Amino acid sequence: MNAKEIIQAFPQPEGKILRNIDKDACERAVEQILAGGKKTLRELVDLIVEPGRGVDVQARHALHSTAIRVGGPGKTKARKAFSTSLAETLSDDRPNAVKGFILRQLQVCAGPEEGGKIAPFLTNPEDHLYEYAAQALEAMGPSTVSHFRKAYPKASGAPRLTIIQGLGVHRDDDSREVFRKAAKAKDLETRLAGLWGLMRIASAEDADLLLAQSAKEKGWGRIKATAYCMELAESLSNKGRKKEARAIYEEIRKTRKADQEDYLRESADRELARLK
């Protein structure tokens, strides 16, 4: 049975709603997709098209259901076989919208061994491919951090910002200089990503940088940057570095003088009292 026949077990939408789902039939279809191996999977992916180019709800439903199924406990062999074959389809000549959907399924089921096939999309600014690639790699855990490091020098614009955030997600201490440079960028989002990364790795050496930069920010940026300072102080306190934590709270209490910042002064006072 080919993929086009197998996916008939999945319902067509009535309007925008899927009704009358035969759960048992769908589960049998998933088993058939897995039993069909690489050939059936490729047939299934070939049925997925760009939005507006055709009706592919059943194919998308089938692929997503299979990705979820192989991601479950005790499915290591099936997961690896499925995710390897699925990741290989990323090198085919397919529309970006289709590759984006594939990347989102790999986020559900792929392991670090597929990171090399996903990583090239980290620098692709088109159709949010860089976001989907970053999310997939982040879901695989810290072992994929090297892909973010390698991609950073090649990226620009939104992909570079996403890569900085990915390094922060992984708490990558080796990216300290990347975070420091980003914290001084012209773009607010990049500055905040750099400050967040320094906060994530609990860089006591950069407390002065966080405090100085947060004091320069205005509006929402000032609020976020100050929150990162507070979170850094909390992390340092939890590690027993109370002197450094206290210095951060004292600086916030001293410099946040606006009426609308009274809650920051009050928060700093509470934390200082707790540290005594």
Give the per-residue pLDDT at 59: 96
For the chain, the domain total comes to 1
Taken as a whole, the chain contains a residue count of 276
Residue 18 has pLDDT above 80, yes or no: no
Residue 13 lies inside a defined structural domain of this protein: no
pLDDT in tens, 206-241: 999 999 999 999 999 999 999 999 999 999 999 999
Please tell me the predicted confidence (pLDDT) of residue 190. 97
CA–CA dist 103, 246 (Å, integer): 44
Q: What is the pLDDT confidence band of residue 1, given thresholds at 50, 70 and 90?
A: confident
Residue 165 within any structural domain of the chain: no
- Tell whether 258 is covered by a domain: yes
Average pLDDT, the chain: 93
Residue 54, pLDDT > 90, answer no
> What residues make up the domain containing 222?
181-276
Residue at 64 is within a domain: no
pLDDT of residue 236: 93
Q: pLDDT digit string (tens) for 84-112? A: 999 999 999 999 999 999 999 999 999 99
